[in-house]
Every structure is written in structure tokens, then in C-alpha cells.
Structure 1
């Protein structure tokens, strides 16, 4: 068994009102930025540090940003979001947050503010960190 993890966040858990609508939305937008579900069942789905299941009570209200490899992926994310139950919350374009920040925003089926962002050309030491539990 092994896990691929990032730097700061262990996981983000979204509680949604309509799991199947969210499953369609997130499958499409994650595919647009080059990611796939890493776990899936009738009761949940997950991708790396993101876990989504149906809420028994209030739904989540968060801002969640996915890393995009380039500007084209930001555009693909936005198109996929709008075609799969999302609502526009800011089309693809440069933002004033820092030089090179290029993002797009969409509200998911429950109103969470979901973003894809490209920070400009970078060099990464690795695509992910591999974590293997000790037995």
C-alpha cells in the first residue's frame, strides 16, 4: 500500500447534498487538470487528499483550488465545470494575486467555490510524495 501526498493538507472532506451530481462534476473537472479518482464506492469518491461523501446534515462551504499544469488546463477545467453542473464564478484569466497567477472559478453543485490555478512555469522536485505505512 502507498499514498501520494502533498505538503500541508492531509485531506479535505466535502459533505455534499447530491453525491451523484458531485461525482459527475468532480470527475470532469479533475480529468480536465489531469487527475483521476483514487477511490470510489456508492457512498464516496476521493482523489488524493480530497474525500467526498453525502452529507447527513449541512453541506460544506469551502474554497478549493486545484493545481493546473498550464493555462490550457485552466480553460479545460472551466469548460468541464460548466458542462457538468457547475456555475461560473470567474472565467479563465490572469489575477492580481501575484505575477503569473492564471485561474478560473466555478461553483460546484453545492455552491463550493472551486478553482483551477496555474502559477506560471515551475520546476518541481517530484510530482508527489510517496508515503508507505510501516508494518
Structure 2
């Protein structure tokens, strides 16, 4: 459904360090660096058919985070969720909404961790355990 997700940054080099560490946990390599026709720097991280982009705002206004928005990254294990979270905090992000862990509701369980990047964008690392087959 999505071709890419893009967030704004007020410091593209700080974002390169942050997202290089965090997305490296998921297997993304170095970003493709680009300069838009307007002269604004952009980073494109490509991995497993998805693209995550970071850009200086093209309109010249400061980058701001969206209130109520979250960008979720699929993880392959609870350990990868922890590694994503730890990399985010070590690279200048902020841990939010409690420590990484299992959260359950009537629809099932998810292993989650939340952090904000240095520009305030809310990120979620998510592992969805497989449900046990139901008895016939």
C-alpha cells in the first residue's frame, strides 16, 4: 500500500547518525543521499522493498513532528525490538511509553518498544508473535 514514509529533520547529519544506527538494526544499509531541486538534503533508506526518507523541509519552515502519528517498523524477534530501542536511545532518541515488552489485549499480543527521534517523530518497533494454532 505504501511506497515510502518521509519525516522532516532540522539537522540532517544528526538524523543520518540516528537512523543509520536504528535502521541498521533492521538490516538497512547506508542511505542514498540526495539534494532536491530546491537544494534541501534528503536521505533514502531502502530495505526489503520499503523506503524510509528523511528530508530537510522543502518549504524552508522548521521540521515538526506530528502529534498522534507513529511510524512502525516490523521486527523479526523480541530481541530485535530491544536492539532497535537501545540503538534509538544510544543515538540521541528518547524512550517513551514504558520499556520494551509484551503488550496484550483482547485481539492478541504484540512485543513493542517506542522512542522519539531527535526531531520528535514517534517510532515503534513491533514484533507480532505467531498465534498457536487453535484446536479443531
Shift, 1:99, TM fit: 2.0
1:86 counterpart (90, 93, 101): 93
* Residues 1:115 and 2:124 are matched in the alignment: yes
Shift, 1:60, TM fit: 4.2
1:95 counterpart (94, 100, 103): 103
Instruction: Render the CA deviation track for 1:41-97: whole Å, top value 9, x for unaligned.
Output: 472211232111112214142411111011100000010000001001132111235
Q: Is the 8 A contact 2:116 2:122 kept in 1?
A: yes
Instruction: Name the CA shift for 1:15/1:38 in 2 (closer, same or farther; >3 Å).
Output: same
Query: Structure 2: any 5+ residue segments left out of the alignment?
Result: 36-40, 132-136
- Deviating more after overlay: 19-28 vs 97-106: 97-106
CA distance in 2, matches of 1:38, 1:24: 11
CA distance in 2, matches of 1:60, 1:46: 19
The runs of 4+ residues in structure 1 deviating greater than 3 Å are none
Structure 1 match to 2:134: none
Shift, 1:23, TM fit: 0.9
Scaled by the length of structure 2, the TM-score of the pair is: 0.75
- How many residues are paired up? 115
Q: Is the 8 A contact 2:71 2:124 kept in 1?
A: yes
CA distance in 2, matches of 1:118, 1:37: 23
CA distance in 2, matches of 1:80, 1:17: 20
Structure 2 match to 1:34: 27
Instruction: Render the CA deviation track for 1:78-121: whole Å, top value 9, x for unaligned.
Output: 10000001001132111235423101010101111011100114
Larger Rg: 2
Shift, 1:38, TM fit: 4.8
* Residues 1:11 and 2:11 are matched in the alignment: no
CA distance in 1, matches of 2:16, 2:130: 31
Q: Is the 8 A contact 1:104 1:116 kept in 2?
A: yes
